[in-house]
Amino acid sequence: MSQQKKANTHPMTMIQALRSAMDVMLENDENVVIFGQDVGYFGGVFRCTEGLQAKYGKHRVFDAPISEGGIVGAAVGMGAYGLRPVVEIQFADYFYPATDQIVSEAARLRYRSAGDFTAPLTIRMPCGGGIYGGQTHSQSPEALFTHVTGLRTVMPSNPYDAKGLLIAAIECDDPVIFLEPKRLYNGPFDGHHDQPVVPWSKHPLGNVPDGHYAIPLESASVFRPGKDLTVITYGTMVFVAEVAARETGIDAEIIDLRSLWPLDIDTITASVRKTGRCVVLHEATLTSGFGAEITALVQEHCFYHLEAPIERVAGWDTPYPHAHEWAYFPSPERVGNAFKHVMDESPGRFDSGAAGAIAGGR
């Protein structure tokens, strides 16, 4: 973070940063409209759109019926007209009724019409667990979007990135699924649920410029430089990886992908070729999760630099439980164990594959 901009920055939570991004874009582009359940008068169940209707009027920011398919479908039509809709699905767990409109329509519109029509939409969805949200307020469905050709999937991990990425997403002419880890809305979270939450005002990335700035999509950030191993992650797990590095003393280089797909392959390969070891980390369930794609890419691009099998730490292959939240959420301990395992591993060990698969549980 540049300190030169300090005069124009303010401490913001991720909620305030996202709101600021929408404020900037409503101001800058008269084709930007915002709608979704409870986003208008009330300002959103997470306060992300608070005050925007009062400032820009009901024609720019408005409440929508409880119909995810309707919200996205109407947005596709608005995009075809020439507007730039930013719509909200209250929880990522509730995007499923909009799947047809997202996959069959928004993602395909430019391709099937050879550019006659486009869908410059941003679909915001609070995602992720660690909040006792149970099965339908905790999911991380990113792999369901990264698999869809024509979509861009983005997830910030801090207020500074949240604003810059959301502005970039709104300005992007491709449809963007913008996933917001709600566990990070008010402060960073490293998985130590028994410790008090630190607010964003105490974190350097909580300092956010007031005006317009954009963080390019397809650009990952090296969240923590290191030389022992590379952690490829995003969202809440960035902070879990950071604390695991501190607690294990392993000098992990943490890559925050920010744009999940299409992603920044160069930053990934440069890091893994340097460290020779890789841990892929996400909250979402393991099997066919986005980590599988990252693992395959690293294997393909960095095979001759790898000193150990690539390790994955992820949510278990179960629906997200309520009471067992902290046994489910990939903890600093599980992540730290994976780090240690990757460091201990030597190539060619007969049990490396099986050991790798269960390492996260130990």
Partner 1 sequence: MRQNKSLRLHVPEPTGRPGHATDFSYLRLEPAGQARKPPLDTSVADSADLAYSLIRVLDEHGKAVGAWAEPDLDPELLRKGLRVMIKTRIYDARMLIAQRQKKMSFYMQSLGEEAIGTAQAMVLQKGDMCFPSYRQQNLLIAQDVPLVDMMCQLFSNDMDHLRGRQLPVMYSMPEYGFFTISGNLATQFVQAVGWAMASAIKGDTKISSAWIGDGATAAADFQTALTFAHVYQAPVILNVINNQWAISSFQAIAGGESTTFAARGTGTGIVSLRADGNDFLAVHAVSKWAAERARNNLGPTLIEWVSYRAGPHSTSDDPSKYRPADDWSRFPLGDPIERLKQHLILRGEWSEEQHQQAQKEIEAEVIAAQKKAESHGTLANGRTSSVSTMFEDVYKDMPWHLRRQRQQAGV
The residue among 101 and 295 lying less far from partner 1, judged by its C-beta, is 101
Neighbours of 300 (CB within 10 A): 10
The residue among 66 and 327 lying less far from partner 1, judged by its C-beta, is 66
Residue 104 is a binding residue for partner 1 (CB under 8 A): yes
Are 102 and 151 in contact, with CB atoms under 8 Å apart? yes
Of residues 5, 10, 47, 108, which one binds partner 1 by CB under 8 A?
108
Counting DSSP H helices and E strands in the chain, the numbers are 13, 14
Stretch that binds partner 1, among 8-16, 146-154, 204-212, 269-277 (CB under 8 A): 146-154
The residue among 61 and 308 lying less far from partner 1, judged by its C-beta, is 61
Nearest distance from C-beta of residue 158 to partner 1, angstroms: 25
Output Rg (C-alpha) for the chain, integer angstroms.
20
Give the type of residue at 228.
D
Of residues 262, 287, 322, 357, which one binds partner 1 by CB under 8 A?
262
Nearest distance from C-beta of residue 212 to partner 1, angstroms: 20
C-alpha distance from residue 254 to each of 174, 217, 229, 237, 309 (Å): 28, 18, 9, 10, 18
Are 235 and 128 in contact, with CB atoms under 8 Å apart? yes
Stretch that binds partner 1, among 69-77, 129-137, 190-198, 338-346 (CB under 8 A): 69-77
What's the distance, CA 227 to chain centroid?
Answer: 25
In sequence order, the 6+-apart residues with CB closer than 8 A to the CB of 357 are: none
Residue 77 is a binding residue for partner 1 (CB under 8 A): yes
Residue 75 is a binding residue for partner 1 (CB under 8 A): yes
Of residues 86, 109, 294, 310, which one binds partner 1 by CB under 8 A?
109
Residue 11 is a binding residue for partner 1 (CB under 8 A): no
The residue among 7 and 114 lying less far from partner 1, judged by its C-beta, is 114
Are 53 and 42 in contact, with CB atoms under 8 Å apart? no
137 catalytic per annotation = yes
Query: How far is it, in rounded angstroms, from Cα 155 to Cα 221?
Result: 12
With 0-12 CB in 10 A as exposed, 13-18 as middle and 19+ as buried, what is 45?
middle
The residue among 218 and 228 lying less far from partner 1, judged by its C-beta, is 218
Of residues 22, 24, 83, 260, which one binds partner 1 by CB under 8 A?
83
The closest of 217, 330, 244, 242 to 281, measured between CA atoms, is 330
The residue among 107 and 237 lying less far from partner 1, judged by its C-beta, is 107
Total residues at the site for partner 1 (CB under 8 A)? 43
Catalytic residue among 10, 59, 137, 193: 137
In sequence order, the 6+-apart residues with CB closer than 8 A to the CB of 245 are: 224, 226, 231, 251, 252, 254, 339
Nearest distance from C-beta of residue 216 to partner 1, angstroms: 12
Are 171 and 1 in contact, with CB atoms under 8 Å apart? no
Give CA angle at 80 (66, 91), nearest 5°.
30
Question: Which residues bind to partner 1, rule: CB under 8 A?
Answer: 33, 59-60, 64-65, 67, 69-70, 73-78, 80-83, 97, 100-101, 104-105, 108-118, 149-150, 152, 172-174, 218, 262, 265
The residues annotated as belonging to the active site are: 137
